[in-house]
Structure 1
């Protein structure tokens, strides 16, 4: 599929996904999105889909594309969860801004590696470690005061939730590592 067709498909899927909250708003008051919520969701969904399309085109096997998909989903979920409810405490907790470093490490490392499987694998593992480091800093080092202090943030929930997110980055790194082995195996054959 050509790049313009792929991007058109991404836009179509993003639009269809946005119909879910739009329809839900017609039947329940539990879903109450504003225009800016829809714009944010459209940008995030289209951005993630486009990123996947561009990165997946650089690989030549299914494992590489799966690794790219897991990495993009990890980034999408990080942005979405952080904007919606926050990864530590509420979305207003200032430490949540630190999670942007995870995206910088992942994308910056992948770009520096020119999206080659081994280098991108290292970038994803570094993103997982950055995620763990940011969570530790947010929970144990940086204790906000005043309105940002969150006594209701349950430590176990935060740790488990963040471990799952860090695990997604590690799985992406592992898959990129496997994709590298597939590339080497074909080159040697």
Structure 2
């Protein structure tokens, strides 16, 4: 499949996915998305889809593509959840800004590894570890008890949700590690 075809498929998929919240907005009074919300969702979905299409072209086996898909989904969910409800406390909690470091580690690691499977594996494991460290720092900054606490957010919920997100990055790392053992050739070009 050519790059142009991949971009067209991503654009079509983004449009179809946006029909879900549009239908909800038209049929449910509680759906409070503004036009800006649709634009932001479209940019995130199209960006994630395009990122996957470009990275998936770099490997020649299914495990590499699964690792790329899971890594992209982990990044998309990180951005979406952090913007929508926040990963520690509410979306207004300044500690949530720290999670940008996870994306930076994953992206910089992928470029340094030149998208080779073993290097991608290391980048995903580093992103998972960064996620755990950022969560610990954020929880240290955000006090879950006392007068300034956000009582609607239980500490256990924060730990479980962040543990699941960290696991996404780790599983992506395992998939890339496995892809490297079966001989993925990553000498392909992005374009």
TM-score (norm 1): 0.93
Counterparts of 1:6-85 in structure 2, within 5 Å, are 6-85=6-85
- Contact preservation (8 Å) 1:92, 1:148: no
The aligned length equals 183
Aligned counterpart, 1:176: 176
Q: Deviations over 1:81-119 (max 9, x none)?
A: 011110111100001111010000001001000000111
Aligned counterpart, 2:130: 130
Aligned counterpart, 1:162: 162
The alignment's C-alpha RMSD in Å is 1.7
- Contact preservation (8 Å) 1:87, 1:96: yes
Q: Give the structure with the larger helix fraction.
A: 1
Structure 2: give runs of 5+ residues left out of the alignment.
185-191
Moved over 3 A (4+): 141-144
Alpha-carbon distance between aligned partners in 2 of 1:134 and 1:15, rounded to the nearest angstrom: 34
Structure 1: give runs of 5+ residues left out of the alignment.
185-189
Alpha-carbon distance between aligned partners in 2 of 1:20 and 1:69, rounded to the nearest angstrom: 21
Greater alpha carbon shift after TM alignment, 173-182 vs 149-158 = 149-158
- Contact preservation (8 Å) 2:95, 2:141: no
- Contact preservation (8 Å) 2:88, 2:142: no
Q: Secondary structure of 2:139's match?
A: helix
Q: Deviations over 1:18-69 (max 9, x none)?
A: 1111111111112111011011000000000000000000001111001000
Q: Say which structure, 1 or 2, has more relative contact order (CA 8 Å, 6+ apart).
A: 2
